[in-house]
Amino acid sequence: EISSQKSKARTKPHILARILGVKVGDVFKWSDDQWGRLQQCGLFEDARAEVSELPSGQLALAVYVEESATLAVEPGITARMDGAVYGKLRVVSSNMAGLGLSGRVEWEKKVDQTRSAYLLELEDTRMGAELPLGWMLRSYREIQRPSVPSDSGGAAETVFNRDGCAAIASAAVAPKWRALFGPKLELIQLPILVDAGQQEEEEHASLPSAEQHPSRPRAHIHPVSWLKAVSRAIRSHERYGSELLGSQLTLHVKLMYDDRRREKIEGDERFDTADEDFRGERGEDVVRPSSEETGGQREISLSAAGPRRSAPAMSRILGLRGSTSFDLAIPVRNNMERFCKVSTNGALYLPLGPRSVAAIGGSASMWSLGTLPAWEWERIGGQHSVRGFAYGELGAVPSHARGTIELRTPLTRDVEWAAFVDGAVELHGRALAAPLGSSVGVGIRLSRALKCDLALTDRGAWNVHFGLVDPKF
């Protein structure tokens, strides 16, 4: 039985059965990861099961689940410290047509840019299928600004636009391990600045001045002429064109490992212990003994969050997460690039005292097989890189190593305090170049979703970053 609090349940029964690994009418056998899969899919927020003994001596299994919210719409406006203004919109659906399909649409537009960045994505993890091979279709456009900062940290900024599509297959190769692989086809473009000198002259000529009409004050300009002038002024911001540089076909392979877990902080006693007797020492599910009051039924708790809580308790993330990706560019045409790029990133979460966590993260990239094209270089700087610097302010490099250490301490259930140190260096073959930049600072995390960081760079500049928490760290 599938229910929903806000609307009619949408999930198809065969999707639930596939996730659990059971078939209606067949003999079932429980495995250790069945309830874990049910929670991992993210489609349900509450679930329980009942096992009943039939008169024939057989057992019948009934599963009851409560659907989670499956649609999220997130509009927003971002104003950077340098004056740039962006409009953003994100729409995410985690259960399209009740088939467990995940769809995502993202759009971003900078005020003074002609083109918009976007992402269209459709994914099916095929969790519980006999052939556990999921798939993902993606179309995207990545937009970069065509200006280069004067202080580039010894490296040129990547300013290329990408229009691409990808077909990615995914598979769980081992417990806590997942692999992605598939081709990507991309068009690489260079944004160029359109000369607007003549256009500006026309705009100035269309606005009558007080010198041209001394007998008529400026406040009496004809409304239609004024609206046309404003319209031309708005269109004048669309001054970016683009030039096609080439295309590339890349075989993408990514291997991911995730052993992170959430641990309750000792001393937080906001628990209702009514159900604690039905949990094992390690939190595993325990079958409730049958009684005459239940009519011979035995109930299995599917809650993986532990005993019921009167209020969510404070917790911290511990464990290890990492990923490594390989991108092999295949020159199917003479004008295509040939290279092999390797990128890796990871994070280690260590307990520090009874409440705090020391999060140690880093990333690195390098290449082989010829020369790595400039559009594959990594941009250094920004709220998810070296904080205190604007996105890409430290430039773009073909190979790099970046590290961060962050001390996190929860203040309340929804507020977390952090202190951090960030740094990055450029790799040149076998030698290390001078550091590109470093910073120290403090920050606040709200509801594990929003963050505000105040950072001091090694150049003596203070900067504030507002944004979303990086899910990779």
**Separation CA 129–CA 303 (nearest Å):** 23
pLDDT tens for residues 422-467? Answer: 999 988 654 555 678 999 999 999 887 888 999 999 998 898 888 8
φ and ψ at residue 156, rounded to 5 degrees: -80, 140
Q: Is the pLDDT of residue 62 over 80?
A: no
pLDDT tens for residues 366-392? Answer: 888 778 888 888 888 888 889 988 878
Q: Of how many residues is the chain composed?
A: 473
The mean pLDDT value for 153-170 works out to 69
Alpha-carbon separation of residue 65 from 29, 44, 94, 126 (angstroms)? 19, 6, 16, 19
- pLDDT interval class at 199 (50, 70, 90): very low
Q: Is the pLDDT of residue 325 over 50?
A: yes
- pLDDT interval class at 346 (50, 70, 90): very high
3-state SS, one letter per residue, for the chain: CEECCCCCCCCCHHHHHHHHCCCCCCCCCCCCCHHHHHHHCCCEEEEEEEEEECCCCCEEEEEEEEECCCEEEEEEEEECCCCCEEEEEEEEEEEECCCCEEEEEEEEEECCCCCCEEEEEEEECCCCCCCCEEEEEEEEEECCCCCCCCCCCCCCCCCCEEEEEEEEEEEEEECCEEEEEEEEEEEEEEEEECCCHHHHHHHHHHCCCCCCCCCCCHHHCCHHHHHHHHHHHHHCCCCEEEEEEEEEEEEEEEEEEECCEEEECCCCCCCCHHHHHHECCCCCECECCCCHHHCCCEEEECCCCCCCCCCCCCEEEEEEEEEEEEEEECCCCCCCCCEEEEEEEEEEEEEECCCEEEEEEEEEEEEECCCCCHHHCEECCCCCCCCCCCCCCCCEECCEEEEEEEEEEECCCCEEEEEEEEEEEEEECCEEEEEEEEEEEEEEEECCCEEEEEEEECCCCEEEEEEECCCCC
Q: Is the pLDDT of residue 188 over 50?
A: yes
What lies within 8 Å, CB to CB, of 457 at 6+ separation is 388, 389, 437, 438, 439, 463
Question: Could you give the angle at which helices 197-206 and 223-235 cross, rounded to 10 degrees?
Answer: 170
- pLDDT interval class at 9 (50, 70, 90): low
Q: Is the pLDDT of residue 401 over 80?
A: yes
What lies within 8 Å, CB to CB, of 335 at 6+ separation is 246
Residue 331, Cβ neighbours under 10 Å: how many?
Answer: 13
What lies within 8 Å, CB to CB, of 292 at 6+ separation is none
**Separation CA 8–CA 35 (nearest Å):** 24
Enter the pTM of the model: 0.63
63-72, 315-324, 463-472 — which is least confidently predicted?
A: 63-72
Give the tokens for residue 99. 């088939």
How large a percentage of the chain has pLDDT more than 70? 63
109-118, 146-155, 171-180 — which is least confidently predicted?
A: 146-155
**pLDDT of 214:** 44
What rounded mean pLDDT belongs to the chain?
73
Which domains, and CATH codes, for the chain? 2-69+271-301 (no CATH), 71-193+240-261+314-468 (2.40.160.50)
C-beta of residue 143 within 8 angstroms of C-beta of residue 87: no
**Separation CA 455–CA 299 (nearest Å):** 52
φ and ψ at residue 159, rounded to 5 degrees: -125, 20
Q: What is the CA radius of gyration of the chain?
A: 28
**Separation CA 396–CA 154 (nearest Å):** 9
> Which single residue is written with the structure tokens 């020369």?
371
**pLDDT of 17:** 75
pLDDT tens for residues 67-82? Answer: 776 777 888 776 655 5
